[in-house]
Amino acid sequence: MTPTIERVHSDFGLAEIIKDIKSHLGIVLAAEAGHGKSYTAFSIVQEAMKDKDTTVIILSPSTIWRRNFGYIKYVKVGSSLFNPIIEKDDLALEGVPYLRDTIHINLDKKWIYQKSQWFENLITSNQHLLFEIKYKNGRRIKQFESIAIKAIYDYQERMIEENPSYKHHFLIVLEEVQNAFGTYSMNADDSLELFTMFTQSRSDANIHYLAIGQRLNDISTKVVERLRPMVGLTVGENSLRKIKAQLPDILKQRVQELPSRHWLYLDGKDCPEIVIPEYNKEGEPIQTLPYEAPIPMVMSYSKKEGFFSKLFAK
């Protein structure tokens, strides 16, 4: 029997992953292109949706979820129907201390959130939802994701304070996490509140994360080191150094030769190697609009009876 087959833990599957996620902040799913990250995420989300005490919110700048995932309501963010992150008309000019004639143009405040009560009610309605983010600007994507996390965080924190036995959890999926949660982005001033919410999500609000990216070194260390890595095939030198530092010696070579959909789950104990079954799509996503389209009124006209009509009726 080959070492590959011996390494696979057949008793550690999707249900165990969901159970484990609930005990900590979440996992970061990282592997080379084509290894099966999205299909693995689809399978994990499907399993999580079976739990009546878990709501899944997917935040994705890609169309892959709408194309390949079934049975979920989705909203296009940044479309003509729903565009909550708008450009700020005036630049934020700030004085520089001790430099009287110098001003600082704060470009980090270029995008602002246009409040949408419909969106805030929807995202806290305990429905499984997919938000397909059409923005191409990474800061704009992060602004929307920050607003979404804040709305859920405030809601969950309020529910827990009102009822200490409240047990409902949220699993937030961050697709292409490096776009909005890269090192530079997370070091900006506008990340201070987001970082606080992120680190306290599990303890204060029963929120967990499934972050998906191609390379660990492209994602901020502030994010990666708070999540439990689930790594697939890795060949990039920088990511290898970061992953190998967390692996026992017998697995340091294995991470460079993992077959598709094989993952090392770095749980700090035996680091099981697991195989995610092939994902099969069922059903189609249903688009949710910011408002209900008005029902056209059909007017019924009745012709007035004339003299001859009455005559022949008799």
- The ranges assigned to domains in the chain are 3-86+117-290
Residue 41 half-sphere exposure, CB side, CA atoms within 13 Å?
A: 31
Tell me the pLDDT tens digit for each residue of 69-117: 999 999 999 999 999 999 876 555 666 666 666 666 655 557 889 999 9
pLDDT higher for 303 or 49?
A: 49
Q: Which regions of 50-199 does DSSP assign to beta strands (E)?
A: 54-60, 73-77, 85-87, 92-96, 99-106, 111-113, 129-133, 169-174
| CA distances for 288 relative to 57, 229, 256, 297, angstroms | 14, 33, 42, 23
Yes or no: say if 148 and 123 are a contact pair by the CB < 8 Å rule.
Answer: yes
Measured between alpha carbons, how far is 131 from 85 in angstroms, rounded to an integer? 14
Highest mean pLDDT among 54-58, 180-184, 250-254: 54-58
**pTM assigned to the model:** 0.84
Position 106 scores a pLDDT of: 59
Query: Within 13 Å, how many C-alpha atoms sit on residue 132's CB side?
Result: 20
Can you tell me the distance from the alpha carbon of 126 to that of 76, in angstroms, rounded to the nearest whole number? 19
Pairing state between β 73-77 and 286-287: parallel
**Domain 3-86+117-290 class, CATH top level:** alpha beta
CA distances from 139 to 55, 130, 142, 185, 290 (A): 26, 20, 5, 7, 23
Give the type of residue at 230: M
Give residue-wise pLDDT tens across range 158-209: 999 999 899 999 999 999 999 889 888 888 877 889 999 999 999 999 999 9
